[in-house]
Structure 1
């Protein structure tokens, strides 16, 4: 991968569009990006990362604030990157999501994120040449071409500020998480999880099968009535089954004996019951015959009563018809009286006419009423028109009233609309001027704060200059002391080596085992610890010097920028002008706040005026129509009233006269019908009276009253017949019983002992039933025991292979998890990560030895950690110090040593990750900061290693504010910081 060109616009501190030509910068293979603190050096690396993956490294990704606050509102925030990957050149453009001021009105609108990828050369595999415009698809194309994701890219290509040293200083858990992200070893953790989950499921299945065995044991013991043993096996189950079968055999023998005894008792009881029944029947027959002899006179009366009731039944029926005829005659006579009264009420006094005359008079009245039908309809129309006139009178009065009300409202509306319009125009003008007056207020407030802070800033500049002078002097003293100590230690190095010689051991310099004249330490000899302490003191003094220089520059920059903004204006002038501006702002804000309300009031007034005009026109149309219709109706009503007055006569109106004529005709018809019904009813009544007298004589009764006295209801006759029949049947039945052959010789005075026989039979039956129940219980128990033994043995057969399978899976899962037979106590995931870390340590050691002049090398440790950090076992990383031959913790390295160790480790990690992922050839590498911790000699060595990195065409970009690098690296890109945004200057 090689970068060609980068454009940033309104991104980070860059308010305008800035361009970085990587082809020009990387012509020598090494370039420097430098500038003031906070100017935006790291932002350029963030822009590269954002263009490729849509995110930035480290904690800056959490802020999600990439737009420049100083950029113009219409200037878009975007990053454009040209690069070549695997021989294909492409251009990636991205814009983050951000809020910009609305083009119309106040407030902000959200600008959505955008992304596009354009192929500048034919795409790989002959794919589509059109641009890719979906953000997620752009990220997938970039990851596929580079062969790594964003986290891997940040660790391999962009070595972010402070983050590439994080891997060296991190504990084993953090190191494991980083390695897992870089090498994608999640699948090995997934294998461990799969085995653990499988073991959990198999253990649950094993517990289920064991529970099933325990369940069958409990059920078997309960069914057999035995105690649950501590260890239930097949022999225990077989013993329970044999015992159950023996109990069945014993119960069956008892059942046979009990049944025989019960049968004998039943036969004896049957004989006693037969004899007792014969005696009872004889006694009952004698008793029944005696009772029937006593009731003979009563039975004779029942026969006479039944015969008389049957003869009187016909007479009773004729008498009922006579009563019905009498009631009907009385009813029709009453109806005739009612009809005659109705006719009198209707004004007809001559009710004594015969039937034919009444019917003739009713016909004449109906003809007269029919002649009034047309006039009735005319009268109904007259009433409807009069009601309509009343409605029209009310409508005319309402319309006249509403027209007056609406006109009174319309008279004052024009002046109101004009006044509201004038006030609305003033409010709109205030809204337009309010933004400018607020900006002026903010500007004057800031200038007033600047004027008040100038004395304090001058004091800060003086203090910063004094602190810088003191820090420079302290650093010079520390550096002189370090050089002096190093010269003295080099002079006494021979004595230091001689102090480590031992008889019989080879000299590390010449290899000789004899040491005739070892050097003797001088009085001013310096130890390694003294040299290290002096070096650390020099580094600390240099840091303080650099910090003091930066503080002085920032103090001067703040003071100069503030003085430039103030431009010589006094505090009193600014205060007076600010007071005037604030008063104007309050006035305009109050007027602008009413703008929307006034606009709504103007619209409402105009709408009200239009509505009132429409309402008045509608009422005027309605008034005209109502008046015209009323005049026509009044003329028609007056003409129709003259004809109806002649037709109604003495009645209120024509319908009333017609209704009277029809009602009188109907009453005369009813009177004629009633009078005819009276004649017919009288004739029928007389005929029925003669018929009932003749029927009584034929039935053998002297009078009708005698016949009616002998009448009985059908239920009584049926009851008498039943009593007579029952007495005869009872007498015949009793005689028949006594005549039966089997009762011959049986006396009603004989006795039989039935109680003793029944008691003996009940005891024998209870014994037999108990024996049968015992047999069935033993058989059920034996069957249940046999079935449960079979289920128990089946459960044992299922349990054995499950226990063997779980034991094997449990042992394998423990090995994969670092337990059991795993001698190293390392999980599969930790083992893979440790192997990757070992590769990284080997790759990083070659560069670390070069940068430390052969002193340090990385040592990978797979020993079990005392802290037992989850996921970090086997990921120890120490350094071997060749000066002392001791393996030390990487945390004991000094600041400069930590930087070169971290850089070597980051470069080694980059090599291994690139080889592991099979990614594209990485022709570009960035290192962000950290060079300020190196002394001049170490910086030379590190620069030599970086020179080796650019061999073969690789481009290395360094981000640093160290002054010495500006002298070493001719190709530079400087970032200048200002109030209006940072800018880029090549070679500046």
Structure 2
């Protein structure tokens, strides 16, 4: 990733717009970001990290330091960065959360953070293609295109202050957590956990398989009827002997086959006995049936003449019945003809109609008139109601006009009332706008009160810590003096100690002589080396306790100074007054806000009422207009309909005045009246309909009389033909031959019963069994012997069936259980074979002592290999620095003084000048910086390789180069220059004066008189 351009405004100490062209600065590979301490160098790096990830570079940094305190509060702070990766060129712009002044009224309002991401065609593209404006989406997209998250970015691109030594000196467990987050090796820990879970699962499956083998063996023994060996069943690897199981199954199957054969023979004998018994019984029944049938045939032969006479008499009666039926129809037709002729004559006489032709002509005239006026009857019925409706409509139109005038008056008064409500709401809103300022004042008073309380507590803490420091200082001085005294006494008595160690004949370790004429004797209170070392240890412990107490006191004093600066001259009484005033302002603003809401509700209700009045006004106007228009149209149609009804009444009256229509011969038909006497069109229509009905009745009576006369003629012809067809010479002869219903039923029953009985007897005698029964004798038909043989065969068959079923069931059950047993054993063996690999792999991955002697888990092993790559990369750079004196070494042992578990990530420094291994904490300041920088650069190289070949084109080093001597500084600059050979841009953040002479391209940060900072770029 390469940085092209950075712009920022109102960020940190920079109130004005700052633009940095990294592409131009990094043309030579290395550039310097220099300036006094606290001028804002780290803020530029914070701006880069904030633009990309929305966070800051330094550990523990907060977003409060982003918004510049030197800029105008109304100026929007922002950071904009143009960068390039393998995925393309992008521009990201972010604004942090900040408080801006309200647009109306006093106080501030919290402005939320925002972000925008654009994809550019080239670094100078000023517009670009929008990618997203949502902060979460931008964070994911930046991580994707850069290839690093924020933690990896800070370890590979931006190396902030304090991060070098922390990684070098941290214990192995802390390194494990950091490396795990950088290299993403959590998957290996999850793999080890998954393998452990699978190990437990396969062990449970193996135990379940053993249980299934024991259960299958027990079920086989139970099915076979033998006793299982409990010890063999309990053993995880012991199963039933295959040959014994096979032999048992063979014996059971042989016994079952033999029992099945016996059952088949017994069943065959039973079938033969049953068939013989049934044959004997059937032949006996056939012989008895033949005798009964012969007796019934003799009875039928005796009744045959009487049945034949009855059949002949029934035939004669049926022919006579058909003749008499036709005669009865003729008599009925003659009676109907006489009745219809009399009725037609009587109806014509009463109607005054002389003949049928006159009836047809007059009916046509009346029907034509009816068709022309009948549809006006409903119109006549509505005329009175329509006249009343017109009067009602006129009255309603007057009422609607009066309502319109009332609504006009009400609507004219509405604007003045709304204006009064709006003015009241505006005044209340002005009073409520002070709420935000009052809350800010309240929060400030609360914070000051908390700082005032904390200041009092800090004064007490400083007062308590000072005696502790004095006491520990006195104690440390006493122990130091005691140690010095012991060392002086030990040095003074060394001669006696050496003399005590001399032996005659041995050379003196001082002068080399073998003679010792005056051997010094050690004093009685001479201290030994252990006493001196114990005094030194006590002195170091006292000094450590003193340093700890002094540190605590310094922290408390710094906190006290900070609180004093924050509180100033403020006292509790002043804070109480300010709090009361702020609370009063807040209550007043709250009451005004409540009143604003109430007025707003009243205004909304007032507007709703106004709109309701307007809607009613429009509706009333529309109703009145529709009513007036409808009434006019209805009045016109009413006049037309009344004229049409009057014409229809006159036309009907003319027909009703005719002489034939005014007859008085039919009282129930309604008397006709003259034209001048018709009361209404409905009455005239009813009179005309009565005339039509009277004419239709006369015509229908004439038609019925003619039809009855034709029917009489047809019946006479039919009776003559029927007499000839059935051989009767007269109608009287036929009537004599007719039988009553009871007589005919009795004769028919007798004939039918005789015919049915004869058919049954003949069919029975023709049956094969009955025919064969004629030849059977009593000796051939012994039923008792056949039944005895059948019972004996049944008993034998039942016994053989029970034995066969029992043997077959036992053999089948044993075979199924043997199959289950074999399947369970094979499944257990296969599962055991598969589980061994899973168990061993899980034990190796989780560091089980019996399988993995090192005790290092899979995740830790992977991190060890990655850490070895990091150390190798660091040593490659470290060989060219500090005269090649140091190299880094890894170890899987616990680090000195650490109680943590073995991580395999311990780190030691090999000092080649003394050929010893040293702890990283024993290095000096410059050595620590150099070794830490090499380690950080090596970590960056490995992370870059592990991240899929991410291109890290720009690198920032923010660390104190002032701890290096000139020679070491040359080595470090040379190593950083090696990075630029591969196309990297390296930015060094430092205030060391010597670097200005070595690096011409620089970004200079200087403070301004008003408290802010400015940036000057030199290319």
Q: TM-score w.r.t. structure 2 length? A: 0.67
**Whole-angstrom distance in 2 between the partners of 1:430 and 1:681:** 110
- Which of 940, 953, 964 is equivalent to 1:914? 940
What is the CA distance between 1:910 and its match in structure 2? 2.0
Counterpart in the other structure of 1:247: 255
SS of residue matched to 1:708? coil
Contact kept? 2:432, 2:588, Cα under 8 Å: no
C-alpha contact (below 8 Å) 2:330/2:719 kept by paired residues: no
Q: Does the alignment pair 1:622 with 2:626?
A: yes
Cα distance in 2 for residues equivalent to 1:572 and 1:74: 32
| Residue deviations 1:439-486 (CA, integer Å, cap 9, x gap) | 665687789999x98997999799699979979996997899699879
Residues 247-266 of structure 1 aligned to structure 2 (within 5 Å): 247=255, 250-251=258-259, 254=262, 258=266
In the TM superposition, residue 420 of structure 1 has moved relative to its aligned partner by 1.4
Alignment of 1:634-645 (within 5 A): 634-637=638-641, 639-645=643-649
Contact 1:458 1:559 in 2 (8 A): no
**Corresponding residue of 1:661:** 691
CA distance in 1, matches of 2:758, 2:619: 107
* Rounded Cα–Cα distance in structure 1 between residues aligned with 2:815 and 2:461: 105
Secondary structure (helix, strand or coil) at the match of 1:95 reads: strand
Tell me the distance in 1 between the aligned counterparts of 2:461 and 2:268: 132
Which residue matches 2:244? 236
Shift of 1:610: 4.8
Q: Which residue of 1 is the match for residue 859 of structure 2?
A: 829
Q: Deviations over 1:721-766 (max 9, x none)?
A: 451463487489779999979846958xx79431222321343366
- Evaluate the alpha carbon distance shift between residue 5 and residue 302 of structure 1 in structure 2; reply closer, same or farther with a 3 A threshold: closer
Q: 1:722 to 1:72 in 2, by over 3 A?
A: farther
Change in Cα spacing, 1:662 to 1:886, as seen in structure 2 (3 Å) is: farther
**Deviations, residues 237-256 of structure 1 (Å, cap 9, x unaligned):** 43134324532563476468
Q: Which residue of 2 aligns with 1:176?
A: 176
Q: Distance in 1 between matches of 2:275 and 2:160?
A: 114
Shift of 1:308: 0.9
In structure 1, C-alpha distance between the alignment counterparts of 2:327 and 2:485, rounded to whole Å: 164
Q: Deviations over 1:369-396 (max 9, x none)?
A: 3245334455565556666555444433
In 1, distance between residues paired with 2:294 and 2:458? 155
Return the offset for 1:311. Answer: 0.9
Q: Does the aligned pair in 1 maintain the 2:890–2:908 contact within 8 Å?
A: yes
Instruction: Say which is worse superposed, 754-763 or 704-713, in terms of deviation.
Output: 704-713
Hey, what's the Cα distance between the residues in 2 that align with 1:760 and 1:583?
A: 119
Q: Summarize the Cα distance change of 1:327–1:19 in structure 2 as closer, same or farther, 3 Å threshold.
A: same
* Distance in 2 separating the partners of 1:575 and 1:741: 134
CA contact (8 A) 1:258 1:768 kept: yes
The 1-side partners of 2:460 and 2:284 are apart by: 145
1:357 matched residue in structure 2: 355
Shift in CA distance, 287/949, structure 1 to aligned 2, threshold 3 Å: same
The runs of 5 or more residues in structure 2 that have no matched partner are: 234-238, 502-506, 513-519, 654-672, 946-950, 978-985, 992-1002
Q: CA deviation at 1:312?
A: 0.4
Q: Distance in 1 between matches of 2:1004 and 2:528?
A: 49
Residues in 1 aligned to 2:83 and 2:486: alpha-carbon distance in whole angstroms: 50
Query: What is the CA-CA distance between 1:413 and the residue it aligns to?
Result: 1.9
Distance verdict in 2 for CA 1:65–1:638, change over 3 Å: farther
Match of 1:315 among 308, 311, 320: 320
State the shift of 1:674 in Å: 2.8
The residue number in structure 2 matching 1:934 is: none
Partner Cα distance (2:634, 2:55) in 1: 86
SS of match in other structure, 1:350: helix
**Shift in Å at residue 889 of structure 1?**
11
Structure 1 residues 526-535 or 160-169, which shifts more?
Answer: 160-169
- Are 1:398 and 2:396 an aligned pair? yes
Q: Is the partner of 2:957 in helix, strand or coil?
A: strand
Select the residue among 500, 523, 540 that pairs with 1:532.
Answer: 540
Describe the SS at the equivalent of 2:355.
Answer: helix
Aligned positions of 1:172-571 closer than 5 A: 175-186=175-186, 188-189=188-189, 192=192, 230=233, 231-247=239-255, 250-251=258-259, 254=262, 258=266, 273=279, 281=286, 283-290=288-295, 300-324=305-329, 350=350, 357-358=355-356, 360-377=358-375, 389-428=387-426, 430-431=428-429, 433-434=430-431, 437-438=434-435, 495=491, 514=509, 527-533=535-541, 535-537=543-545, 539-540=547-548, 542-544=550-552, 546-547=554-555, 550-551=558-559, 553-560=561-568
2:958 to 926, 929, 949: 926
CA–CA separation in structure 1 for the residues paired with 2:764 and 2:589: 133
Partners of 1:403 and 1:620 within 8 A in 2:
yes
SS of residue matched to 1:180: helix
How far 1:313 moved relative to its partner? 0.3
The alignment's C-alpha RMSD in Å is 7.0
Deviations 1:871-893 (CA, angstroms, capped at 9, x unpaired): x65456799999xx999999xx9
Separation in 2, partners of 1:770, 1:638: 113
CA distance in 1, matches of 2:381, 2:54: 90
Residues 329 and 593 of structure 1, relative CA distance in 2, 3 Å threshold: farther
Q: Is the 8 A contact 1:31 1:958 kept in 2?
A: yes
Instruction: Check 1:3–1:59 CA distance in 2 against 1; reply closer, same or farther (3 A cut).
Output: same
Deviation string 1:260-302 (CA, Å, 9 cap, x unpaired) is 86688579758xx55x766655555445555565676655443
Within-5 A mapping of 1:940-959:
952=976, 957=989
1:825 alignment partner, SS class: coil
Residue matched to 2:840: 811
Which range is displaced more, 532-541 or 206-215? 206-215
The alignment partner of 2:958 has SS state of strand
Q: 1:371 to 1:214 in 2, by over 3 A?
A: same
In the alignment, which residue of structure 1 is the partner of 2:739?
708
Are 2:784 and 1:755 aligned? yes
Q: CA 1:609–1:121 in structure 2 vs 1: closer, same or farther (change >3 Å)?
A: closer
Aligned residue pairs, count: 921
Taking structure 1 as the reference length, the TM-score comes to 0.69
Shift in alpha-carbon separation, 1:165–1:634, aligned structure 2, 3 A = same
Q: 1:743 to 1:644 in 2, by over 3 A?
A: closer
Which runs of 5 or more structure 1 residues have no equivalent in the other structure?
506-511, 932-938, 960-970
Shift, 1:402, TM fit? 1.7
Counterparts of 1:501-900 in structure 2, within 5 Å, are: 514=509, 527-533=535-541, 535-537=543-545, 539-540=547-548, 542-544=550-552, 546-547=554-555, 550-551=558-559, 553-560=561-568, 585=589, 589=593, 592-593=596-597, 596-597=600-601, 600=604, 603-604=607-608, 607-608=611-612, 610-611=614-615, 614-637=618-641, 639-649=643-653, 650=673, 651=678, 652-653=680-681, 654-680=684-710, 704=735, 707-709=738-740, 717=748, 720-724=751-755, 726-727=757-758, 730=761, 743=774, 746=777, 752-764=781-793, 767=796, 803-819=832-848, 820-836=850-866, 860-862=891-893, 873-875=903-905
Q: Which moved more, 1:824-833 or 1:225-234?
A: 225-234
